[in-house]
Structure 1
Amino acid sequence: MTPADAAIPPTLLSAVVAIGRQAGLPVSAWFSGTGLEPGLLDDVDVRVSLDQARTVLRRVVAALPDRPLGIEVGARDALLSFGFVGVAMRSSATVGDAFGVLDELHRASGSLADFIAEGLDGDEIELYLRERWPDPALLPFLAEEAFASTIAFLRSVLGETWTPTRLFLSYPPPVYAARYERFFRCPVHFAADADRLVISTDVLGSRIPTHHEPTLRTALAVCRSLIAPARTRPGVVAAVEAMVNAHLHRPLTMAEVATQMHISERTLRRQLAEAGDQFGAIRDRVRERHATALLRHSTLAISAVAAEVGFSDGREFRRAYRRWTGRTPLAARASADGSQA
C-alpha cells in the first residue's frame, strides 16, 4: 500500500471535524485540494489515503495548536475510537486476546500508526508506536491518540482507577503537558528515545466481561473485509466514487465534482489518468453497482431503480445497464430470484 491508496477508514478525520465544529472553525477549509469534504466521512464505504489524512490533520493541528487533540479523540469510548475493531476487542475473552485483535486489525480502525509489543515474557509489556510515514508535525497527535485510546479501552475493562506504569514520548513537552499527567496518571518522560507505553504483563490475563464469541466472529469478519486488498484504490478515485455515490439521484458532472474537490477540472482529469481511471468509468461503475443491488435486493419497479441512479428515461437506463453488464435489468432481477436469466 502506498500513501496515495485510499484504504483507511476516516475515523480520525470524523473525530477532529466534530471537535472543529464545536470550536466554531471553518472545517471545510481543512479539506481543500484533498478530494474530500466533511460530509463524505459518514459514508461507511468511504476510505481515505494516508496523504489525504495527513494533509487534513496537519491543518487541524495548526488550527488548534494549544489543545491535546489526540487525547480528546483517544479518550472516547472504544467503540468510537476503534469502530468495529473496538467491537471485536470488547467481545474478546481476555485483554491479551483483545491486544491480539488490535495487533492484527488496527488498520481497520482508521489508525495512522502501528503498535509493536515487546517484553511479553517479563513483568512488563512495552507498546511501541511506529509511524508508517514519519511526520514530526503530526507525531504528538498520533501518539496522544494511540496511547489515550489504548488507556481508555483498558480502563473500560479494568476500571477507571487503573493506570499504566510509565509513558515515554520522543518529542518535547507541549504547552499542555500537564494534561498528559492528568489523563495518563503515571510518570511521563518527554524527549525519550522512542514512543512507548509500559504496562504490567498481569493485565493480559484479565477477563473481559463483555466477551461474546458470536459477536467476536462477526466483528473480526467485518474488520478483515475493511482492510482487504480489493478495497484499496487511489485516493482520488475513492473520493470521486464517494461524491458520485452521494448524488446518485442527480449525477454530478466532472466539473461539479472538481469544484467540490477544490481543484480544476483539468487537474481532476489528470489525477484520474495518473490513477489509471476516467470520470465516466467511475460514474458508470457506481451507478451500476447501486442499480444491481436494488435489482437483487428490492422490489422497486425497474423505472424506480432507474430514477434511483439518476435516469429519467427507463429506456436510457436499460440501454446503459446492458452496456455495463451485458444483460438487461429484468434478466439481472430474474437471476437474483433464481430464475432463468
Structure 2
Amino acid sequence: MPRWSFQRNVTSMRLMADLAVKHGLTLGAVLAGTDLDARQLGDPEYLVSGEQELQLIRNLVNGLGDPPGLGIEAGQCYHFTAFGVLGFAIISSPTPRAALDVALQYFDLTFAFTRFKVEDHGTQTRVIVDDDGVPDDVRAFLVARDFSCFVTVMRDLFAFEPALGALQFAFAAPSDIGEYARFFRVRPQFSTPHTMAVLDRALFEQRMPLANELALHAAREQCRKLLDGRRARSGLASKVRELLAARAADMPDMDVAARELCLTARTLRRRLLEEETTFAELRDEVRQTLAEEFLGGPRMSIEQIAARLGYAEATSFINAFRRWSGHTPHAFRLSRRSA
C-alpha cells in the first residue's frame, strides 16, 4: 500500500476543487471518479482516502494541461489553519525546528503525498522531499505543491523570513521557471538527485512568537488520539470504518454497507468476526472517535454533535458517550479544557 494511502479529512480536496473552478473547470469535471459530491466536499468533518484525493488531482492536472507553476499555486492554498489541531500544535511549538519535528511526527494528519526528512549539517538545516511511491503522472505537481505548502506555512507562522539558501528539484525543469523563482525567492536547480531545500540552521533555533508548552501538550495529545482512531483497524475492518466515518450523519446499516462493499451481509459479518470485531463495534468506534474530535475542537453544541453523528436526539448521544468513555460529553469537554 502506498505511504500516502492514509485517511484524511476533505479540506485538501476542497482547496484543490476551488483552484480548479478558479481556472475554469466545472465542479463535476474535477470530482469525476472520486465518489464525492458537492455536499460532502463542503463538510469539513468528512473523511476521504488518499486515492480519492489523488483522483481529484489527476482531474485538475489533466483538465488544465499542467501549466508551469500550477503546483506552486496549489501549495499556496494551504495555510496552517487547514491542518486543524496539527496546525495548532505547530504554532504552539517553542522553535521552528521543534515545529518541524511535530509536523513530521504527525505527518499522516497532513494532506501530503510526499514525505519530508530534516537533517542538520553544520550551519545548515536541509529539508529533503521523498517522493517514493508518488505516481509519475502527477509527481512534479505534487512535489511542487507539497513543498510550496511547507514554505507557505513557514511564512505564516514564523516571525522572520525563512530564506532558502538553495533549492533543488529532482524532476526536469518546466518550460517556464518564473513562478518557481518568484515564490521561493531563489533560482532553483532541476534534474538533481534529490528534491531538497537548504536553510539557515540558526534561524530555526529562534523562539516562536506563540510558543506555549501547555497548549502544545494538549494539541499533541489530540493529534495522537486522532491518529490512533484512524489507524486502529486494518483489512476489511478499516474499509468499514472509512465507509462509516464518511457517512457519519447518515450512517448505513450492515446490509447497506455490505452492498457498497460488494459483499453479502452474511459474508461481511463472517469476515469481520475473523478480524475479531463486529459491525456494531466499528460503528461505536467511529462515533466515539468523531465525538471526541468534535468535543475537543471548535465549539459545537451537544445537539449539533449528536446530529453530526446521526442521533435523532441529544439524549441518545449522551447515553452512548457515557457508555463508551464513562463520562458525559460535557464532562469530557471540561477535562479537555483543563488539560
1:131: how far off?
Answer: 2.4
Q: Is the 8 A contact 2:180 2:187 kept in 1?
A: no
d(CA) in 1 for partners of 2:222, 2:42: 17
How much has 1:228 moved relative to structure 2? 1.7
Tell me, yes or no, if structure 1 residue 189 matches structure 2 residue 192. no
What is the Cα deviation at residue 243 of structure 1?
A: 5.1
Instruction: Show the counterpart of 2:332.
Output: none
| Aligned 8 A contact 1:66 1:176 in 2 | no
1:55 aligns to 2:55 (yes or no): yes
Consecutive unaligned residues of structure 1, counting only runs of 5 or more, are 258-264, 312-317, 322-327
How far is 1:79 from its partner? 1.8
What is the rounded CA distance, in whole Å, between the counterparts of 2:242 and 2:73 in structure 1?
27
Alignment match, 1:315: none
Answer whether contact 1:35 1:236 (CA < 8 A) is retained: no
Unaligned runs of 5+ in 2: 292-299, 329-339
Within 5 Å, which residues of 2 pair with 1:41-120?
41-43=41-43, 45-64=45-64, 65-66=66-67, 68-76=69-77, 78-118=79-119, 120=120
Deviation at 1:16, TM superposition (A): 0.1
Partner of 2:177: 177
CA deviation profile, 1:128-151 (whole Å, cap 9, x unmatched): 111252312222222222221222
- Provide the alpha-carbon RMSD of the alignment: 4.3
1:99: Cα distance to partner? 1.3
Query: Could you list the per-position Cα deviations for residues 199-249 of structure 1 after superposition, in whole angstroms to 9, with x for gaps in the alignment?
Result: 11122212211112222122212222232265455675355324532436x
Q: Structure 1 residue 6: deviation in Å?
A: 4.7
Instruction: Please report how far the alpha carbon of residue 283 of structure 1 lies from its aligned counterpart in structure 2 after TM superposition.
Output: 12
Question: Quick check: which has more Rg, 1 or 2?
Answer: 1
Measure the CA separation in 2 of the matches of 1:12 and 1:88. Answer: 19
How far is 1:192 from its partner? 1.1
In structure 2, the CA distance between the partners of 1:199 and 1:21, relative to structure 1 (3 Å rule), is same
Q: 8 Å contact 2:85–2:222 — kept in the other structure? A: yes
Identity over the aligned pairs, expressed in percent?
Answer: 23
**Which residue of structure 1 lines up, in the alignment, with residue 151 of structure 2?**
151
Q: When the two structures are aligned, how many residues end up with a matched partner?
A: 300
Q: 1:181 to 1:174 in 2, by over 3 A?
A: same
SS at match of 1:138: helix
1:237 corresponding residue in structure 2:
240
| Cα deviation code 1:91-139 (max 9, x no counterpart) | 1111111111122112212222211122x14122221111252312222
Q: Are the counterparts in 2 of residues 11 and 109 from structure 1 also a CA contact under 8 Å?
A: no
Cα offsets for 1:52-95 (capped at 9, x unmatched): 22222122211222163432232246323543222211111111
User: Given residue 98 of structure 1, which amino acid in structure 2 is its aligned partner?
Assistant: A
Question: For structure 1, which segment, 108-117 or 29-38, has the greater mean C-alpha deviation from structure 2 after superposition?
Answer: 29-38
The AA in structure 2 aligned to 1:269 is C
Residue equivalent to 1:247 = 250
Determine the C-alpha separation between the residues in 1 that align with 2:97 and 2:207: 9
Distance of 1:299 and 1:152 partners within structure 2: 35
Q: Which has the higher contact order (CA 8 A, sep 6+)?
A: 1
* Separation in 2, partners of 1:194, 1:136: 15
Matches of 2:184 and 2:135, distance apart in 1: 24
Tell me, in whole angstroms, the C-alpha distance in 2 between the residues paired with 1:41 and 1:226.
21
User: Equivalent residue of 1:129, what SS?
Assistant: strand
Contact 1:7–1:232 under 8 Å retained in 2 = no
TM-score using structure 1 length: 0.70
> Structure 2 vs 1, CA of residues 130 and 141 (structure 1 numbering), >3 Å: closer, same or farther?
same
Could you tell which deviates more after superposition, 2-11 or 213-222? Answer: 2-11
Inter-CA distance 285–28: structure 2 relative to 1 (3 Å threshold):
farther
Question: Within 2, Cα distance between the matches of 1:245 and 1:190?
Answer: 45
8 Å Cα contact 2:48-2:246 kept in structure 1:
no
The more displaced of 164-173 and 56-65 is 56-65
C-alpha distance in 1, partners of 2:264/2:164? Answer: 46
2:241·2:282 contact (CA, 8 Å) conserved in 1? no
- Hey, what does 2:262 align to over in structure 1? 269
Task: Write out aligned runs for 1:273-312 (5 A).
Answer: 276=271, 281=279, 285=283, 289=287, 309=311
Distance across 1 between alignment mates of 2:301 and 2:182: 53
Secondary structure of the residue that 2:109 maps to in structure 1?
helix
